[in-house]
Amino acid sequence: MASENKVPLKENERIDDLERNGYRIIQDTERFCFGMDAVLLSGFARVKAGARVLDMGTGTGILPLLLEAKTDARHLTGLEIQEDSADMARRSVCLNGLEDKIDIVTGDIKEAGKLFDAASFDVITCNPPYMTDKHGLTNPNDAKAIARHEILCTLEDVIAQTAKLLKPGGNFYMVHRPFRLAEIMVLLHNYRLEPKRMQLVYPYIDKEPNMVLLEANRGGRPRMTVEKPLIVYSKPGVYMPEIYEIYGY
């Protein structure tokens, strides 16, 4: 169960229940809050007992918290460039009494290969910015803009650094948008991260997919499994049973 540790909250911050192990997370209502994509990625990722895990662009630490709750990972690290988000993530770690299991590092994904030892992680996860088009951004320094648009790092930056930090045979898990699937596959191949599993996520059974979950293996042999589609809603406001299971309700 989560610790009863007292942590300070700043203006506009709230504590949300993660519905897992009694864990809670601090979020800022004025900044970028985690969404379903991070939760679905936590359900898609396979983390073996004793694994060392790195989450790149961790935001407020949602993926390390969920993966600690769902798996027997030995240690998890979250890397986040925005200090305000990293500070919230650290306080959430303290709130749940997980300081011995989760580290939050402030740093740039593009410099990840210098911040950590090469081939030192069994699993790397990432919920990166999806959008390349920066037109219309009124404030590119805004936390929400940085989370959604490739302002501080690109998809290739994420994949290149992953290739450096994953152990041979280690797995990379990412959630992204289907419209960039061809680019994703080319980059994974170029950096010798072999796609192994893919699952498309559909908001409704009769709609186009709006997310794709991917697993790649460093140095793996060519062969990919396409899993059955994941449908989010049976009707407005009502999740499909698989989604309730992932959330832990």
Residue 5 is predicted with a pLDDT of 63
| Torsion angles phi and psi, residue 227, rounded to 5 | -80, 165
Q: Are 27 and 88 in contact (CB under 8 A)?
A: yes
Q: Are 79 and 58 in contact (CB under 8 A)?
A: yes
Residue keyed to tokens 């988000």: 85
**What is the domain count for the chain?**
1
Does residue 89 lie in a domain region? Answer: yes
Residue 62: closest CA among 81, 48, 46, 80: 80
Residue 3 is predicted with a pLDDT of 46
Query: What is the rounded (10 degree) CA torsion for 109, 56, 191, 189?
Result: -140
Give the span between the Cα atoms of 58 and 93, in whole angstroms: 12
Amino acid identity, position 245: E
Residue 1: closest CA among 94, 69, 88: 69
Residue 7 is predicted with a pLDDT of 85
Residue 249 is predicted with a pLDDT of 62
Query: What is the rounded (10 degree) CA torsion for 179, 183, 189, 195?
Result: -10
Does residue 3 lie in a domain region? Answer: no
Q: Which two tokens stand for residue 29?
A: 């209502």
Residue 138 is predicted with a pLDDT of 45
Does residue 11 lie in a domain region? Answer: no
Does residue 193 lie in a domain region? Answer: yes
Does residue 237 lie in a domain region? Answer: yes
What residues have CB less than 8 Å from 54, skipping those under 6 apart? 76, 77, 78, 79, 112, 116, 121, 123, 124, 125, 165
3-state secondary structure of 245: helix
Residue 69 is predicted with a pLDDT of 95
Give the span between the Cα atoms of 23 and 128, in whole angstroms: 24
Give the span between the Cα atoms of 181 and 176, in whole angstroms: 8
pLDDT digits over 15-45, tens only?
999 988 899 999 987 877 788 999 999 999 9
Give the span between the Cα atoms of 191 and 11, in whole angstroms: 42
Q: What is the pTM of this model?
A: 0.90
Does residue 46 lie in a domain region? Answer: yes
Does residue 240 lie in a domain region? Answer: yes
Does residue 12 lie in a domain region? Answer: no
Residue ranges making up the domain that contains 215: 35-247
Q: Are 78 and 102 in contact (CB under 8 A)?
A: yes
CATH number at residue 50: 3.40.50.150
Residue 137 is predicted with a pLDDT of 46
Residue 233: CB atoms within 10 Å: 15
Q: Is 205 exposed, middle or buried (0-12, 13-18, 19+ CB in 10 A)?
A: exposed
pLDDT digits over 177-200, tens only?
999 999 999 999 999 999 999 999
Q: What is the pLDDT along the chain (249 residues), one digit of tens a residue?
A: 444 567 889 888 899 999 888 999 999 878 777 889 999 999 999 999 999 999 999 999 999 999 999 999 999 999 999 999 999 999 999 999 999 999 999 999 999 999 999 999 999 999 987 556 554 444 555 555 444 544 567 899 999 999 999 999 999 999 999 999 999 999 999 999 999 999 999 999 999 999 999 999 999 998 999 999 999 999 998 999 999 888 876
